[in-house]
Structure formats: structure tokens, C-alpha cells
A and B are shown apart, each in its own frame.
Chain A
Amino acid sequence: MDCRTALGKIVAKADGLLTRQDEAELADHLAGCPACAAEDAAIAATGPALRALTGIRAMGKGAALDAMGTRVRAGIGEVRETRRRSSRLARWVWIPAAVALAVSALLFYPAGTDRSPFHPSSFDVAVEDVESDAATVALVDKGEDLPRVIWIIEDAKT
């Protein structure tokens, strides 16, 4: 095996792609070639070094990640509090609206007109005097449970 082939197999070995037979042939070559052995050692050390470096970088950013987590939790809490406050407000906001409606109903209720049906409580009416300049007037009384009627007869029209 020449050094060029050995270099390719050293990379394949680092990637875990080498067969046992190739690995044995490479070991034979490395035993007799200090340059390739040094290259193999260097490449084999690269993986752990990269993992260590990633770990170190992650540790360095840990504080920033913690701060970001704190900010996110605080933001969630703030949104919840705002929603709670607005829901509390929505629970009470109808009261002044209802009061305003009731007051305006009392103030602007049409006092001159009333469309509620008639419900008289008594038909007991005393007619103290009746007179007319232009008609004949008749007082009709048909019983206690019926209203008294004053009937105006205009020139025999009715």
C-alpha cells in the first residue's frame, strides 16, 4: 500500500467506513511509515477536539441562553397579566354602560306618549256636571264593571 492510498484509508477510518481487512492493511502500512502514522494520529484527534470545542462554545453561550429564557418567561407572564387585567375590565365595563342606558331611558322616556295597554283599576266615576254648547250629551252607565260613558250627539250625526 502506498502513502496516497493509505491517506485515503486514514480519512475513511476516521469516518468509520473502513472494513476490517482494509483496517488491517492500513495498520501494516502505518507500522512501517511514520509520516502516515503521524497523519492518522492527527486525524483521529480531530473528532474529540471538535466536540470539545462545541462544548466550550455552548458553555460560553449558556448565560445568554439563560437570559433569553428568562426574558421569554417574563414576556409570557406579562401577556398573561395583561389578558387577566383586560378580562377583569371586560367583566365590569358593562355596568357603567348599563347605568348610562338606564339613566338615558329615564331621562328621555317619552312622557307625552304611552303605548302600554290600558289596565283601569276602577270604573267608579262621579260626573259632577255635564254641558255642551253644540251637542246633546248623554250619560250612559251600563254597570259597575263597565266604564261610564259620556256620549256626545252632534246635531243627530251619531
Chain B
Amino acid sequence: MPKPDPRGRAGAPALSFFLLLLLLAAAPSQAADSVTVDVGAVYASNEGTSIDPALGTIRGKLRSMFNYTSYRMLDRKRRSLSVGETGEFELPDRRSMRATPLPARGEKVRLSIQISEGPRNLLTTTLGLRRGGMVLVGGPPHQSGVLILIISAE
């Protein structure tokens, strides 16, 4: 009778362990009634020509949409919020953004967004987007350029 390969015996639990890890990684990390709000603060300017690789696939889109030569991610925050729960995101230059998921149907996400600079309300908006969708909010001056906020919801 052929002897079982001892390496095979050792490999089986290891394979099971990695499969378990893959399952954990693939499992949805958030409950369906919560929304993960991801906010990236990008400094757009004409100082240099570098584009931050952390901007991923939207690098080309930023370049095609705006006239700036340099895009640098200053900060990025991600928060999981339940419907009705407000999350506050600190932004550069004493600005802040408050996001509140609103009730929505299906794969849609509704977000109430408020951006303020101290006591000044710069923007109040309500957005309806798909999970995984993205919107840009730009314009507030920063150093010699502007801030562009990349807001996405999952």
C-alpha cells in the first residue's frame, strides 16, 4: 500500500487555514444597513507635476477634469455609519465634514453631507449614490491650490 505523503498531511490544515482567511477577507465587513463613508482630502495645485499613486484609478480622471498639474492626498478617513448616525471627518485648515446616511432602498445610499469652516457653512447637500459610487467636492482654497474631497460610500 502506498504511504501517504507527509507533506500532503501537513499541507491540508495549512490549506484549510488559508481558505478560512480568504473567506474572512471575502465576507462583507459591514452590515447591509450600515454605510462605509470614505473621505479623501486631495491637495490640487500647480506646484510640480506629481500625482499621488494612492489616488488609484481616478488619477487620470482628475487630470482630465481639472487644470491642476499636481494632486497629493493629504488625508483619508473611512468610517462605518449606521443610518441616522452622523460621522465627523476632520479636514485641513480647520474645516470639517459631517456625513449622515439616510434611509434608502436597495443598493442605493443616501448621504447628507455638511462641510463647514469654523462656524461657516460651506456646503449642505444630500447625495444619492450606488454602493461603491463616488462624488467629488472641490474648491476650498488650501495653500497655493485647492482642496478636492473624494467622497465615496459602500
Contact = CB atoms under 8 A, between A and B. Distances in A.
A115 B139 contact: no
B2 interface: no
A66 B21 CA distance: 57
Contact of B134 (A123, A152, A158): A123
A114 B61 CA distance: 21
Interface residues of B, number: 50
Given A114-B38, A131-B123, 7 more contacts: A117-B57, A121-B133, A146-B61, A146-B64, A149-B65, A151-B139, A154-B122
* In the complex, the 7 A-B pairs of residues with the closest C-beta atoms, listed nearest first: A117-B56, A121-B132, A152-B139, A120-B134, A126-B128, A128-B126, A122-B133
A119 interface: yes
B34 interface: no
Interface of B: 10, 13-14, 17, 21, 24, 38, 40, 53-58, 61, 64-65, 76-80, 110, 115, 117, 120-141, 146, 150, 152
Contacts of A152: 115, 122-123, 137-140
16 contacts: A99-B17, A111-B79, A113-B77, A118-B54, A120-B133, A121-B133, A128-B125, A128-B126, A132-B121, A135-B139, A149-B136, A149-B138, A150-B138, A151-B139, A152-B123, A158-B146
Contacts of B137: 149-152
A74 B149 CA distance: 74
A42 interface: no
A32 interface: no
Contacts of A123: 133-135
Contacts of A153: 139
Contacts of A137: 123, 125
Contacts of A154: 122, 139-141
Given A151-B139, A152-B139, A152-B140, A117 B127 contact: no
A150 B123 contact: yes
Interface string A126-142: 11111111110100101
Interface in A72-121: 91-92, 95, 98-99, 102, 106, 111-121
Interface of A: 91-92, 95, 98-99, 102, 106, 111-135, 137, 140, 142, 145-154, 157-158
B57 A120 contact: yes
Contacts of B40: 118
B54, B65, B134 — most chain A CB neighbours (10 Å): B134
Contacts of A98: 17
